[in-house]
Amino acid sequence: MTKSPDTSQVLFRREYEHELETWLRVRFGYLCTTFVALGLIQLIASIVGMFGPTAPGDLGGAIVGAVSTMLSLCIVAYFFLERDRFETREAVLRGLARMILALGAVYISAWIGADWFELKIFPSILLAIFFWHFTACLFLPWTPGESLRPILPLLAIWAGYTLFFGSEDETSRVLVVIFGPGILIPGLLICAWRLRRHSRRFRSTMLGRHFRTLRQEFTRARGIHEAMFPAEYDDGYVKFQYTYVPMRELGGDFLHMHIGAEGVVHLTLIDVTGHGLAAALTVNRLYGELERIRGEALRATPAEVLQLLNRYINLTMARHNIYATAIILQLDPYAGEIRWASAGHPPAFLRGVNGVVRQLPATGVVLGALTDEEFEAPDKSMELVPGDVIVAYTDGAFEARDRMGRQLGLDSLRDILHGQPSPKNWPQFICSHVDKHKAGRAEDDVLVTALTFVSTRLETKSATAAVARS
């Protein structure tokens, strides 16, 4: 089975690579500075050896050592000055490899020459390789594999020279060549430990920073999202209130309200499948579609609006398995009538002024499940008397679970509406009961609305064309 990649590594790959590149370039400068400092110390030691030799071979060795050290200093200085021209991490690594190979070529040439002429001042090639590798690994944030790239050619030269020109017996030379590279293990362990530690720290830092950024973005998005919701409304004839509690920063429950030119109220509740950002983006699109419909079809009935919404969702969102339930209420304060059409939405309740509760059931299936030709959600209507309240909600209101996993249920929600006396704010009253029943985190968004028929409107006086947005 293929192992899926670490999400944080994929998410922050560019940032991580950029940080490693910057870190490597800075550490390359530190490494060069260290090599120069050590080279100067070695050069001083060689010069001192030239003026105070104790054996005939020491003077020649000191001269060779001084010359090779000066060449090495020139090499390191050159790459130090050129480091700003390495534009990428790979370019820095190539520069590092060339520098170490050049240092190795100077040292090995000097060592072989000293060995042939029996000048004894140089440590073995293997110890020099260990020094370059270990020192570089102490400074550089590179992988174990990257650290071996400039070392393996030097090891190959050392192994060949040891096998064919070494002074030990054949068995000893073979054993030295086999086990000698083991001196690179400390450097390799340092590389692996440093990158692993840095990777964990980097992911932790970036995830924290990314989380804070997301929270800020979601906070701003929630402000924009909730700005689409209508303000509460009361013109003396119709009163509208609602309470919305999203499960996360953004939700898939939505409310749209339109006031006709003569004061007829059109209320639409939509519950999109899913939660979070995907559902909120869908709501945003549906809000635009509803605004278009209300702007172009001023006298559209609830059934006609649902027909248009179903066509839109079926054509644009059903392919992504996104559907929605919806209920549209049209309250006419002149006729004292509530007209509704519902597409798979939980039944609204009509609470009479006398406390009797009746259901406004669904009249069709969910939006988007059927084509335009197959979909039907006809209007239904009921007469109202002043004081009647229509309560509509989304499924989060009755699916809230207690500690035993039991849902509040439609029957309990209906019982809440039987309460006497009638509260001033039905949505808040219902949501407080839902909150008391709920245990733990919410599993869905909760949206509760109340549309109250206050009094009959007799005059044909023009009303506000649309509800002001909060």
Report whether 96 contacts 133 (CB < 8 A).
no
**pLDDT averaged over the chain?**
83
pLDDT in tens, 339-379: 999 999 999 999 999 889 999 999 999 999 999 999 999 99
% of the chain with per-residue pLDDT over 90: 33
pLDDT value of residue 440: 67
Average pLDDT over residues 398-413: 86
B/e letters for 45-82, b = 16+ CB within 10 Å, e = fewer, are: ebeebbeeeeeeebbbbbbbbbebbebbbebbeebbee
Tokens of 79: 């790459």
Estimate to the nearest angstrom the gap between the alpha carbon of 285 and the chain centroid. Answer: 23
Closest CA to 191 of 128, 129, 136: 136
Task: Give the separation between CA 369 and CA 377, rounded to whole angstroms.
Answer: 13
Q: Tell me: pLDDT of 212 over 50.
A: yes
> Which CATH number describes the domain made up of 230-453?
3.60.40.10
Condensed to tens digits (0 to 9), the pLDDT of residues 218-235 reads 677 777 777 788 889 998
Show the CA angle centred on residue 157, arms to residues 153 and 162, nearest 5°: 145
More confident residue, 177 or 451: 451
Query: Once rounded to an integer, what is the mean pLDDT over residues 393-409?
Result: 86
Least confident range from 72-81, 271-280, 382-391: namely 271-280
Query: Which pLDDT does position 54 carry in this prediction?
Result: 52
pLDDT recorded at residue 460: 59
Provide mean pLDDT across the span 252-262: 86
Q: What is the pLDDT of residue 189?
A: 93
At 1 the pLDDT is 38
Q: Which two tokens stand for residue 286?
A: 């549906």
Q: Determine the pLDDT at residue 211.
A: 66
Least confident residue range of 39-53, 96-110, 303-317: 39-53
Answer whether residue 155 shows pLDDT above 50. Answer: yes
Tens digits of per-residue pLDDT, 287-322?
A: 899 999 988 888 899 999 999 999 999 999 888 888
Dihedral angle, C-alpha 431, 433, 439, 440, nearest 10 °? 20
Output 52 or 141, whichever has higher pLDDT: 141
Amino acid at 106: V
Tell me which of 34 and 440 has the higher pLDDT. 34
Other CB atoms within a 10 A radius of the CB of residue 277 amount to: 17
Count of other CB atoms within 10 angstroms of residue 196: 10
pLDDT value of residue 274: 74
pLDDT score of 208: 66
Identify the pLDDT of residue 3. Answer: 40
Confidence of residue 52 (pLDDT cuts 50, 70, 90): low
Q: Mean pLDDT check: name the lowest of 102-111, 235-244, 379-388.
A: 102-111
* CA separation, residue 457 to residues 231, 237, 333, 449 (Å): 22, 6, 5, 22
418-426 average pLDDT score: 85
Report whether pLDDT(463) > 60: no
Residue 61 has pLDDT above 80, yes or no: no
More confident position, 247 or 157: 157
Mean pLDDT for the stretch of residues 424-434:
92
The DSSP code sequence of 347-395 is: PEEEE-TTS-EEEE---B--BTSS-TTT-----EEEE--TT-EEEEE-G
pLDDT at 340: 96
Rounded distance, CA 349 to CA 329, Å? 11
Q: Which of 125-134, 173-182, 217-226, 448-457 has the lowest mean pLDDT?
A: 217-226
In this structure, the strands spanning 324-332 and 337-343 are antiparallel
pLDDT at 113 over 90: no
pLDDT of residue 173: 83
Q: 325 and 271 in contact (C-beta within 8 Å)? A: yes
Of 204, 246, 249, the C-alpha closest to 223 is 249
Lowest mean pLDDT among 203-212, 273-282, 287-296, 373-382: 203-212
Q: Which helix (H) or strand (E) holds 327?
A: strand 324-332
What pLDDT sits at residue 10? 46
- Give yes or no for residue 427 having a pLDDT over 50: yes
- Please give the structure tokens belonging to residue 102: 């050049």
The ranges assigned to domains in the chain are: 7-207, 230-453
Alpha-carbon gap, residue 75 to 98, rounded angstroms: 10
How far, in Å, are 308, 342, 343, 345 from residue 366 at the CA level?
Answer: 13, 9, 5, 7
Mean pLDDT computed over 335-341 = 95
pLDDT tens per residue across span 372-398: 999 999 999 999 999 999 999 998 889
Q: Grade residue 195 by pLDDT with cuts at 50, 70 and 90.
A: confident
Q: Which range among 54-63, 239-248, 354-363, 431-440 shows the weakest confidence by mean pLDDT?
A: 54-63
